[in-house]
Structure formats: structure tokens, C-alpha cells
């Protein structure tokens, strides 16, 4: 049985991806232990540090303290158990993988690299030297890994030819599938959740809602989250009484909250990053049994197939038309919910981690 050590300052509660991989590896016959001291930063704060590395000094003592703790724990673990067959460094592990490379000499290191620092910063408005430095950070992290795991082919193509890599879809945790099974009767309510970054395209959602109002169609929208475009979205939606804003929902509550809605919304931006990803909310919403609408991009169409309803990126009218077609036709809505649940079975933790478990077994 291959022994894997999940290592780093990842936070499964806030960023479930590494938890999905750990669960999937276990279901595929790997023994997985964890050495983890979560760095209590949000995705937005971590990305802000990637955009502005000098802010690293603001939490440097905390990070160094966590690194000291996990490095010490790792050495103690290896004295008792020997070296693991592989080390898994979780999502947003740009810094953690450098530590892992130092601590676990001679051990294959798997880096879950869903975010390219340079690409993400550029998507959020950075340019010039800052982007170049962050691309250098990406390269340092990739060079420290034996295998780089990415979520789409488009991200894989951003690597250099000699980089060892594997595409593993983001997938969804088991609790999202369970929430879908337990969901009662759904109304025609619509939900969006996530950071209000340009990638998400939340202004497109509220503009679509305005178009629907002009047609006399007023389904209830719940928009969960906060971020860069939040004030802009609130301004656009001023006076609309069919939109409810919730700035935060506890991660443990989110699956059931989403599953109580008929329709869940993905991403709708036209940014380069928006054309490269399949967001976790799409996998999660399909698992929860919602009909899902998201942007018609190459990775999403290739991966999701008929599991979702596609609309042109950045097009409020196209999104309004898609929403209207679902809320106006109960049979169509039910069919797309069924399509979502069916497609979601391809993205359970055991399915998505199968090839990774095989790689670890072959390279131990």
C-alpha cells in the first residue's frame, strides 16, 4: 500500500480541493497521513500576497512558525515511519512546496497547482514587473515538484515541455453529493457563491437579472460572497428586490444552502483566466443536484459535456435567456438537474484521484 504524506499550511475547511485528493487517494488504496498547520488566510488574502509579495512580511512570523512546526513534525514522523512514498502539497502551495523540497529529499513531491500566481495577478489587474516576479515564483514552485497536478488541459499547456504533469479535475467532496440526496422540493430560486473577482463575472449575473425584470420575470437570486466587484454589483442591483446578498455562509452549511436552490450559476467572465478553468462551484453544484449555468469555454464544454447549460461568456442577455428557459419549463429544469447529477458521478473523489494513485504506486 503506497504511503502518502499530505504536507503544508493548506486549509481544507476553506479550500476543500486537497481534502478531495486525500479522500480519493485513500479510496484508491493509498495510506494517507497529514502534517498540516493551516495558515488562516482566505483565498483573497493569499492571492493578495501572491500579487504583492512584500505583504509576506506582514504574516512572515506566523508562516515561519507554522513551517518550523510542520518541518519538525515531518522529521519526527520519518524517524518513526521512514520516508513516505510521496508527499502531496496542497492547493496554493507555492511556498510550502519549497519547504517540502528541502525536508523530503529523495521523495517524489506532488504539487497541486490550480493557481498560477502570475496568471491570477494579471487577471486581477497587475502588470509589468510584478507579474514577472510572480511567474518566477510559479517556476520555482514547479521546479521543486516531481509531479505538477493541474485541473484543466489549458493550465497544463502553461507548463514547459519538460515539466512532469497530470490533469486531475477539481471534483467535489462527498458532502455535496449527500446534500443533493437530502435536498427536499426545490423552488425556481437561483444561487451564486464565490469571490467577486473578475474571473467570476458577477456583474453579468445582476445585469441578466435586470433583463429578466424588464421581461416581467423575477426569480429570486441569492448571491453569496464578497470581493473585488462587490460594490459594483451592489450598485448595479440597486432597487431590485428579488436579489438577496449574503456575504458569508459557513463552509459546513454551504452544501445544503446551495442544494436548496433549483439553479446554480458558475462563472461568466471573458478574462484569460476565466477561459482556462472549470470552477469548483460547478462541480459542487452538479453534485448538489442543481441545474447549472456557466460560460461556454473550451475546458468547461470538454469536461462537463451535457451536464450544464452553456452561455456565451460576458453576455447578460444569453444568461437571461438561459435562466428564463429553465424557470419557464419545469420539465426542462428537471432534466438539466438530472443531467447535472449524472455528470457529477464522473467527478467523485475516488474517480478523479485514480490516475494520481497509480502514478504514486508506479513511482514509489
Residue 50 confidence (pLDDT) above 60: no
pLDDT value of position 346: 98
Contact call for residues 90 and 96 (beta carbons, < 8 A): yes
Where is pLDDT greater, at 326 or 364?
326
Contact call for residues 221 and 209 (beta carbons, < 8 A): yes
Question: How many whole angstroms separate alpha carbon 6 and alpha carbon 10?
Answer: 9
Q: Which three cell numbers stand for residue 363?
A: 513511482
Residue 10 confidence (pLDDT) above 70: yes
Residue 347 confidence (pLDDT) above 90: yes
pLDDT value of position 14: 84
CATH placement of domain 3-171+349-363: 3.40.50.2000
pLDDT value of position 59: 61
Question: How many whole angstroms separate alpha carbon 271 and alpha carbon 197?
Answer: 11
288-303 average pLDDT score: 97
> How many residues are there in the chain?
364
pLDDT value of position 351: 98
30-40 average pLDDT score: 93
pLDDT value of position 274: 86
User: In the chain, pLDDT over 70 holds for what percent of residues?
Assistant: 90
Residue 57 confidence (pLDDT) above 70: no
Fold: same for 3-171+349-363 and 174-347: yes
User: Average pLDDT of the chain?
Assistant: 91
Q: What's the angle, vertex CA 337, arms to CA 335 and CA 342, rounded to 5?
A: 95
pLDDT tens column, 212-253? 999 999 999 999 999 989 999 999 999 999 999 999 999 999
Of 19-33, 73-87, 261-275, 315-329, the range with the lowest mean pLDDT is: 261-275
Enumerate the domain spans of the chain. Answer: 3-171+349-363, 174-347
User: In the chain, pLDDT over 90 holds for what percent of residues?
Assistant: 77
List own/partner pairs for 102-105 with CB under 8 A and 24 or more apart: 103/7, 103/71, 103/74, 103/75, 104/5, 104/7, 104/74
Of 56-70, 143-157, 287-301, 336-350, the range with the lowest mean pLDDT is: 56-70
List own/partner pairs for 117-121 with CB under 8 A and 24 or more apart: 117/50, 119/158, 119/272, 119/273, 119/276, 120/47, 120/50, 120/51, 120/273, 121/47, 121/50, 121/51
Residue 114 confidence (pLDDT) above 90: no
Contact call for residues 224 and 192 (beta carbons, < 8 A): yes
CATH architecture of the domain with range 174-347: 3-Layer(aba) Sandwich (3.40)
Residue 47 confidence (pLDDT) above 60: no
Question: How many whole angstroms separate alpha carbon 32 and alpha carbon 2?
Answer: 8
Where is pLDDT greater, at 212 or 123?
212
Residue 65 confidence (pLDDT) above 90: no
Where is pLDDT greater, at 135 or 79?
79
Of 59-63, 78-82, 200-204, 327-331, the range with the lowest mean pLDDT is: 59-63
Residues 6 or more apart whose CB falls under 8 angstroms from that of 49 comprise 41, 55, 56, 59
Amino acid at each position: 500500500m503506497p504511503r502518502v504524506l499530505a504536507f503544508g499550511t493548506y486549509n481544507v475547511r476553506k479550500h476543500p480541493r486537497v481534502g478531495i485528493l486525500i479522500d480519493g487517494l485513500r479510496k484508491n488504496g493509498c495510506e494517507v497521513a497529514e502534517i498540516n498547520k493551516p495558515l488562516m488566510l482566505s483565498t483573497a488574502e493569499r492571492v493578495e500576497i501572491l500579487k504583492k509579495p512584500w505583504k509576506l512580511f506582514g504574516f512572515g512570523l506566523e508562516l515561519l512558525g507554522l513551517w518550523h512546526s510542520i518541518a519538525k513534525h515531518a522529521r519526527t514522523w520519518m524517524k518513526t515511519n521512514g520516508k513516505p512514498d510521496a508527499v502531496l502539497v496542497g492547493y496554493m502551495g507555492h511556498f510550502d512546496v519549497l519547504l517540502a523540497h528541502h525536508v523530503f529529499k529523495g521523495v517524489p513531491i506532488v504539487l497541486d497547482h490550480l493557481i498560477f500566481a502570475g496568471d491570477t495577478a494579471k487577471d486581477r489587474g497587475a502588470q509589468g514587473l510584478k507579474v514577472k516576479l510572480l511567474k518566477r515564483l510559479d517556476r520555482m514552485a514547479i521546479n521543486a515538484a516531481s509531479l505538477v497536478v493541474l485541473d484543466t488541459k489549458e493550465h497544463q499547456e502553461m507548463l514547459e515541455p519538460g515539466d512532469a504533469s497530470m490533469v486531475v479535475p477539481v471534483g467535489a467532496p462527498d458532502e455535496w453529493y449527500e446534500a443533493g440526496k437530502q435536498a427536499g422540493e426545490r423552488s425556481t430560486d437561483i444561487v451564486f457563491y464565490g469571490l467577486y473577482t473578475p474571473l467570476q463575472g458577477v456583474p453579468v449575473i445582476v445585469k441578466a437579472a435586470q433583463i429578466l425584470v424588464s421581461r416581467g420575470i423575477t426569480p429570486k437570486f441569492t448571491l453569496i460572497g464578497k470581493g473585488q466587484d462587490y460594490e459594483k454589483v451592489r450598485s448595479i442591483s440597486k432597487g431590485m428586490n428579488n436579489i438577496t446578498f449574503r456575504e458569508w455562509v459557513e463552509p459546513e452549511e454551504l452544501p445544503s444552502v446551495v442544494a436548496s436552490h433549483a439553479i446554480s450559476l458558475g462563472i461568466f467572465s471573458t478574462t484569460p483566466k476565466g477561459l482556462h478553468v472549470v470552477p469548483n462551484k460547478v462541480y459542487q453544484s452538479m453534485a448538489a443536484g442543481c441545474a447549472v449555468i456557466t460560460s461556454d469555454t473550451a475546458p468547461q464544454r470538454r469536461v462537463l459535456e451535457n451536464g450544464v447549460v452553456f452561455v456565451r461568456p460576458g453576455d447578460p442577455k444569453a444568461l437571461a435567456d438561459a435562466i428564463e428557459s429553465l424557470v419557464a419549463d419545469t420539465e426542462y429544469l428537471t432534466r438539466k438537474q438530472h443531467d447535472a447529477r449524472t455528470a457529477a458521478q464522473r467527478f467523485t473523489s475516488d474517480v478523479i484521484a485514480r490516475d494520481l494513485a497509480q502514478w504514486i504506486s508506479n513511482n514509489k
